[in-house]
Structure 1
Amino acid sequence: MPDVRGRVRRSATIAGVLLLLLLLGLPACAGRPAGAEPAPGASGVAPPPEPPYRGESIPAYDVVLTIGTDGVLYVRETITYDFDQAGEHGIVRHVPFRRGDRLFEVRGVSSSSSTGAPARVRTTRFLHDVQISVGDRHREVRGRQAYVIEYEVRRAFTPRADHDDLLWDAIGTSWDVPIGNAAVRVQAPVPLRHATCRAGAPRATTRCLRDRDGPYAIDFVQNALAPHEGMRIRVRLPKHAIAVPPPRYVPPRWTGDWTGTAVLALALAAVPLLARRPAPRREAGAGLAAAGTLLVVADAGDDVAASGPWAFSLGDRCLAGLALMIVGVGILCVRRIRSARFAAEDRPGGLQLVGRDVN
């Protein structure tokens, strides 16, 4: 009998605990109407995250790419930029003029604003891009502003054996803010039978949505682009449909072989040794620096004269010139530091040095 009583007591205790838990859970279930959604966090499911971008953004970005019969790509960009409450002087659009060894010609840049924002345009070439600055350095703008940028791109088409190719990022990947709605229209003087668009980060494979298709124009749209995501347009035209000038190529940035690279590395390694050993005279350092400068100018002068200051490449002569310049400037710096040190020691109260040649 004692065993039977123990089992009954344990069963009654478990049943009481289950009944108590059931009664505690009933008010929460009864207080919610049938079909109603649970409150955020009540069902254990976390609420959706807040949007990560609350500051500046581009709500709308519309681009029209018009292919001319002369092979020129005419670009018109309408950018609606929301500066939020932070004051800015304008926007900066980066348009590539160099892709690897390939050069493009970006010309005829103009800008305007339908919202009355300052729209003065300035262009600067830096590395591989043409930086188009639109705005006023002395005036800040806030809120939502609209800008229109127009320019031409020459030598953008690549001639093939049986067709001509165009590969162009319509909005670029240099924007640091998200883009809400982007639309790109491609217009051509001949029917567009082969035109595609890929959206996202570089080498992305997301297909853009096609809004409207016509025989001579195609519209691509894409929503919710994150910073540094673009829309790459590829167009294939029949051969001789337009006049395609030959593309321009320049040598790569680094054209030196192992010889020039080794000389430059030895020059860099020799600089710390100059501070530990007797350095040559100042005249030797000045001569080496001047000779190195002449080699650099002679090697890069042809590229700069033909394609501009940002088309130079580092060949063996240029690398050797840089090596001479590094050693020469190192000698001058060491001699100057030692001269200053000796002058400080020769002052009253310092160590007197007699017969020391610092020249």
Structure 2
Amino acid sequence: MAKFGVLCVCVALAGSAVSPGVAQGAPEDERMLSYVVRAELDADGMLSVTEEITYDFGASGDGAIRMLPRWYSPAARDAPPDVVRTVDVDQASAALDGRPVAVARERPSPAKIVLRVGESGERITGEHDVHLQYRIGGLVTKRDGVPVLEWDLADTSENVPIDHADVTVTVPGQVGDADCLTGYGVTGRGGNRCTTTESSGSTAHFAVDRISSYDRMRTSVELPGNVAVPREKTEVMPDLSNGEVERASGGSFSWFTLVLLVVFAGGAIRFGGSLLRRRS
């Protein structure tokens, strides 16, 4: 029994060393009860977004944090695997229960755009209405010669579940096919289909219930030819072979730290075993 207890402590220490830094800040009872998004795409490829969120901060909330992926797949299918297309956000503003509040942009990782609604360290508990507006560029690309809006609304490093999401995208012209998937690490045609995926006229509409923590909500909309496809901004992902592993949410650990933890675990187990032998 003593050996098992020592081993549990060591595993817990190792887990805290590699767990995501930002994502673990949300309490277990924090959740979005309702996530309603209205977005309008300009002909120049910029997307103006309004999010209306009924947010339950639980008993120990620390303000609303929205994590937006900054990295997407480039248009070129033969692009090197370490090259990513980047997006950017500007003109962010927010309100909490109708009261204007600050929006701070944090960047724990080059892969994420993090928007904090409200002052850092301000305790917000219970249920509140969060209004968030921003513009995001770089989401429009080309797939098989067709302009497409590719947009991830929930990200795999965000540990806030969503009870219900409802997303409407309006474009300047006739929309084509639309798709919506949820799940962890959604790629290609994997994942679960959203409950509602509709496209008609100039509008695409998506809805889904129960998006779990760390699950992605990925949407795509084929666009009319009059929508400009901006020149892609790309960058090379950081080299992860130098002993420092970058987590998707910005947390990191060194292999040296992990080795120390393993050595400590082995020594602690041997020490616990020797105590048992002495007692017996």
Query: TM-score scaled by structure 2?
Result: 0.65
Q: Which runs of 4+ in 1 moved over 3 A?
A: 211-214
The letter for the 2-side match of 1:224 is R
Q: Displacement of 1:177 after TM fit?
A: 2.7
Q: Displacement of 1:234 after TM fit?
A: 0.8
Alignment of 1:138-153 (within 5 A): 139-153=122-136
1:221 aligned onto 2:195: no
Name which of 117, 120, 133 aligns with 2:102.
120
Query: TM-score scaled by structure 1?
Result: 0.51
The letter for the 1-side match of 2:105 is T
Correspondence for 1:248:
233
Correspondence for 1:158:
141
Identify if the C-alpha distance between structure 1 residues 70 and 198 changes in structure 2 by more than 3 Å, giving closer, same or farther: same
- Structure 2 unmatched runs, 5+: 1-26, 73-82, 244-280
Correspondence for 1:207:
193
1:73 aligned onto 2:55: no
Task: Work out whether residues 210 and 218 of structure 1, in 8 Å CA contact, stay in contact via their aligned partners in 2.
Answer: no
Distance 1:101 1:197 in 2: 21
Counterpart of 1:55 in 2: which secondary structure?
A: coil
Task: Work out whether residues 94 and 129 of structure 1, in 8 Å CA contact, stay in contact via their aligned partners in 2.
Answer: yes
Alignment of 1:176-325 (within 5 A): 176-203=159-186, 204-210=190-196, 213-238=199-224, 240-254=225-239
Q: Displacement of 1:156 after TM fit?
A: 1.6
Counterpart of 2:34 in 1: which secondary structure?
A: strand
Task: Work out whether residues 63 and 170 of structure 1, in 8 Å CA contact, stay in contact via their aligned partners in 2.
Answer: no
Q: Displacement of 1:138 after TM fit?
A: 5.1
- Structure 1 unmatched runs, 5+: 1-52, 256-260, 266-359
Q: Which has the larger radius of gyration?
A: 1
Task: Work out whether residues 31 and 57 of structure 2, in 8 Å CA contact, stay in contact via their aligned partners in 1.
Answer: yes
Task: Work out whether residues 111 and 119 of structure 1, in 8 Å CA contact, stay in contact via their aligned partners in 2.
Answer: yes
The letter for the 1-side match of 2:31 is S
Distance 1:252 1:67 in 2: 28
Distance 2:191 2:161 in 1: 19
Correspondence for 2:115:
132
Identify which range, 245-254 or 228-237, moves more after superposition: 245-254
Identify if the C-alpha distance between structure 1 residues 207 and 161 changes in structure 2 by more than 3 Å, giving closer, same or farther: closer
Q: Displacement of 1:213 after TM fit?
A: 4.8
Instruction: Give the number of aligned pairs.
Output: 203
Identify if the C-alpha distance between structure 1 residues 176 and 217 changes in structure 2 by more than 3 Å, giving closer, same or farther: same
Identify if the C-alpha distance between structure 1 residues 161 and 169 changes in structure 2 by more than 3 Å, giving closer, same or farther: closer
The letter for the 1-side match of 2:215 is E
The letter for the 2-side match of 1:122 is A
Using the aligned pairs only, state the percent identity: 27
Distance 1:160 1:221 in 2: 24
The letter for the 2-side match of 1:104 is V
User: Which structure shows the bigger proportion of residues in helix conformation?
Assistant: 1
Counterpart of 1:153 in 2: which secondary structure?
A: strand
Identify if the C-alpha distance between structure 1 residues 166 and 141 changes in structure 2 by more than 3 Å, giving closer, same or farther: same
Q: Displacement of 1:182 after TM fit?
A: 0.9
Task: Work out whether residues 43 and 172 of structure 2, in 8 Å CA contact, stay in contact via their aligned partners in 1.
Answer: yes
The letter for the 2-side match of 1:90 is G
Structure 1 residues 302-355: Cα deviation after superposition (integer angstroms, max 9, x where no partner): xxxxxxxxxxxxxxxxxxxxxxxxxxxxxxxxxxxxxxxxxxxxxxxxxxxxxx
Superposition RMSD in Å? 2.6
Distance 1:160 1:54 in 2: 39
The letter for the 2-side match of 1:248 is K
Q: Displacement of 1:150 after TM fit?
A: 1.4
Counterpart of 1:101 in 2: which secondary structure?
A: strand
Counterpart of 1:183 in 2: which secondary structure?
A: strand
Q: Displacement of 1:247 after TM fit?
A: 0.6
Distance 1:96 1:216 in 2: 25
Task: Work out whether residues 119 and 147 of structure 1, in 8 Å CA contact, stay in contact via their aligned partners in 2.
Answer: no
Structure 1 residues 209-244: Cα deviation after superposition (integer angstroms, max 9, x where no partner): 227653111221111121112321011124x32122
Alignment of 1:328-343 (within 5 A): none
Distance 2:198 2:151 in 1: 20
